[in-house]
């Protein structure tokens, strides 16, 4: 494709202003979040008082420099995950046809990599080879190193997309900031077999979520001699959610993140920095704020969270099963209703797709976001409500998924035209049935 796939919904001034804001504000926010969770009792008010007194100099004071230990941890972890991505066996999986007619090919070994990673990490701790508490102790330095290193990574990715793109699904919008933010390439690779977005999104980003969850548990155990029930509930729900992700990883390769969003700051920096820092933040808070929930409340929160994760999984399963069987299946005990939609590729070829209007997908066009948001609430709820900052991820996720639902609707409307209008008439609500 000759130009970038992204089209701006707002004016160019608003678009560029919002991108520059995210490029400049996200890095200090990561450090502020870590500082407030770890050194300011999780209290926004305490951090606010500190910065009222010290101003911008206060930010410079609390911002840790990337240490040699931090770089060693990051590179060891990244190298280990890259080796697993290349070396572990896996089923050959084809991704969706790209706008330029390319079909990406993947090796589905995410679950194997996930199991090997967690077993290795726990074994290193159990046998006294490496103490994961060190990761927590150097967390600020690690985030600082990730912020810098990931910016450099995105710059190199931008240069690669400009000089040596991996496929024809690449190109420039003509604006440097937009190209850096959204990315130049849809499927950047090193050689033929190492997919960069699979590494950044799945093997570094999502895997770090699970690794840090275990890290927080171990750190709390070493601090107080046991793991609180609140930390256990938080960790179990997060690990179940991440396990679900890797079990379904090949399905993730069909989603907007991989199949439509290019590899730029938005996706790659976000997965390399934002996921390990923000997504894990409820557990980061609980390390120094163990809450005794009691058996009844702990089990209630755990059950509610597990139910939400299951529904989220079942939503994805229904859609995948429907696509795999070409609509010849049963959903909720009935033959699914569907719309046969046709569309044209950029090459002018006419293709068809089946749009599912049954099961969870008959309730709302993006109903699967509801249990995902609720699951995030339930793995944060063990922190109770002394401070609001642990719930930042819940708020952020709600905004992110609401925006993603709109972007996906806009994309489908452009792609399917009148068939999408038919679909919206049959499934009128975007996310929450009867509400939105």
> Please, which pLDDT band fits residue 218 given cuts at 50, 70 and 90?
very high
- Is 142 within 8 Å of 74 (Cβ atoms)? yes
**156 and 188 fall within a common domain:** yes
Using N-to-C axis directions, what is the helix angle for 110-126 and 207-224, rounded to 10°?
Answer: 20
Q: Are residues 52 and 84 located together in one domain of the fold? A: yes
Q: Are residues 302 and 210 in the same domain?
A: no
Rounded mean pLDDT of the chain? 93
**At 42, which helix (H) or strand (E)?**
none
Q: Do both 313 and 226 map to the same domain?
A: no
Whether 90 and 181 map to the same domain: the answer is yes
Structure tokens, 355: 């749009």
pLDDT tens, residue by residue, 340-352: 988 887 777 788 8
pLDDT at 366 over 90: yes
User: To which H or E segment does residue 195 belong?
Assistant: strand 194-195
Q: Provide the domain limits for residue 259.
A: 1-291
**Are 378 and 236 in the same domain?**
no
Q: Are residues 8 and 136 in the same domain?
A: yes
DSSP string, 263-290: SSIIIIIIIIIIIIIIITHHHHHHHS--
% helix, strand, coil for the chain, step of 5: 65, 5, 25
Given a cut of 70, whether residue 321 has pLDDT beyond it is yes
- Residue 7 pLDDT > 60: no
Residue 97: pLDDT band with limits 50, 70, 90:
confident
101 and 145, same domain (yes or no): yes
User: What integer pLDDT is reported at residue 273 of this predicted model?
Assistant: 97
Q: What is the dihedral of CA 194, 200, 206, 207, to 10 degrees?
A: 60
Flag whether pLDDT at 420 surpasses 70: yes
Shared domain for 66 and 208, answered yes or no, is yes
- Domain count of the chain? 2
3-17, 26-40, 69-83, 118-132: the lowest-pLDDT one: 3-17
Query: Which pTM does this prediction carry?
Result: 0.91
CA atoms within 13 A on the CB side of 83: 8
Q: Are residues 283 and 403 in the same domain?
A: no
Last residue of a domain, one of 255, 275, 291: 291
Q: Is 301:381 a contact under the CB 8 Å cutoff?
A: yes
Q: Quote the pLDDT of residue 10.
A: 54
Q: Both 231 and 331 in a single domain?
A: no
Average pLDDT score over residue span 227-244: 97
In this predicted structure, the answer to whether residue 240 has a pLDDT above a threshold of 50 is yes
pLDDT digit string (tens) for 398-417? 999 999 999 899 989 988 99
pLDDT at 5: 41
User: Are residues 147 and 36 part of one domain?
Assistant: yes
Looking at residue 155, its pLDDT comes to 97
Q: What is the mean pLDDT of residues 320-336?
A: 89
Tell me if 158 sits within 8 A of 185, measured CB to CB.
no
**What value does the mean pLDDT take over residues 139-144?**
98
Domain endpoint, select from 244, 269, 291 = 291
Instruction: Give dist(CA 222, CA 133) in Å, integer.
Output: 8
Q: What is the pLDDT of residue 320?
A: 87
Q: What average pLDDT does the segment 201-211 reach? A: 97
**Of 241, 261, 291, which one is at a domain's C-terminal end?**
291
């Amino acid at each position: 494709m000759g130009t970038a796939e992204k089209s701006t919904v707002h004016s160019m001034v608003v678009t560029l202003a919002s991108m520059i804001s995210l490029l400049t504000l996200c890095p200090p926010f990561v450090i502020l979040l870590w500082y407030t969770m770890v050194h300011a009792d999780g209290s926004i008010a305490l951090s606010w008082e500190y910065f009222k007194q010290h101003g911008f100099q206060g930010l410079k004071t609390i911002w840790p420099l990337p240490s040699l230990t931090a770089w060693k941890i990051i590179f060891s972890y990244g190298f280990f995950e890259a080796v697993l991505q290349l070396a572990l066996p896996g089923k050959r999986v084809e991704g969706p046809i790209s706008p330029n007619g390319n079909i990406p090919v993947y090796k589905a070994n995410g679950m194997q990599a996930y199991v090997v990673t967690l077993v290795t990490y726990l074994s290193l701790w159990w046998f006294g080879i490496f103490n994961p508490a060190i990761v927590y102790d150097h967390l600020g330095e690690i985030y600082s190193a990730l912020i810098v290193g990931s910016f450099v990574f995105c710059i190199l990715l931008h240069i690669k997309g400009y000089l040596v793109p991996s496929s024809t699904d690449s190109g420039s919008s003509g604006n440097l900031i937009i190209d850096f933010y959204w990315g130049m390439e849809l499927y950047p690779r090193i050689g033929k077999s190492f997919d960069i977005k699979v590494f950044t999104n799945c093997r570094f980003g999502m895997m770090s979520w699970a690794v840090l969850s275990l890290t927080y548990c171990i750190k709390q155990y070493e601090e107080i001699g046991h793991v609180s029930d609140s930390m256990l509930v938080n960790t179990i729900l997060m690990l179940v959610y991440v396990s679900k992700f890797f079990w379904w990883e090949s399905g993730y390769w069909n989603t907007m993140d991989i199949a439509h969003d290019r590899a730029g700051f938005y996706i790659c920096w976000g997965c390399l920095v934002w996921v390990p820092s923000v997504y894990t933040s409820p557990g980061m808070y609980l390390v120094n704020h163990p809450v005794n929930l009691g058996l009844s409340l702990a089990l209630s929160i755990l059950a509610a969270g597990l139910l939400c994760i299951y529904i989220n999984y079942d939503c994805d399963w229904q859609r995948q099963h429907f696509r795999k069987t070409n609509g010849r299946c049963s959903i909720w005990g009935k033959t699914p209703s569907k719309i046969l939609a046709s569309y044209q590729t950029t090459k002018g070829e006419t293709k068809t797709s089946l749009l599912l209007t049954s099961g969870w997908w008959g309730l709302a066009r993006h109903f699967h976001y509801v249990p995902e948001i609720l699951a995030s609430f339930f793995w944060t709820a063990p922190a109770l409500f002394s401070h609001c900052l642990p719930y930042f991820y819940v708020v952020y996720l709600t905004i992110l998924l609401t925006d993603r639902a709109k972007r996906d609707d806009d994309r489908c409307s452009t792609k399917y035209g009148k068939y999408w209008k038919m679909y919206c008439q049959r499934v009128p609500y975007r996310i929450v049935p009867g509400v939105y």
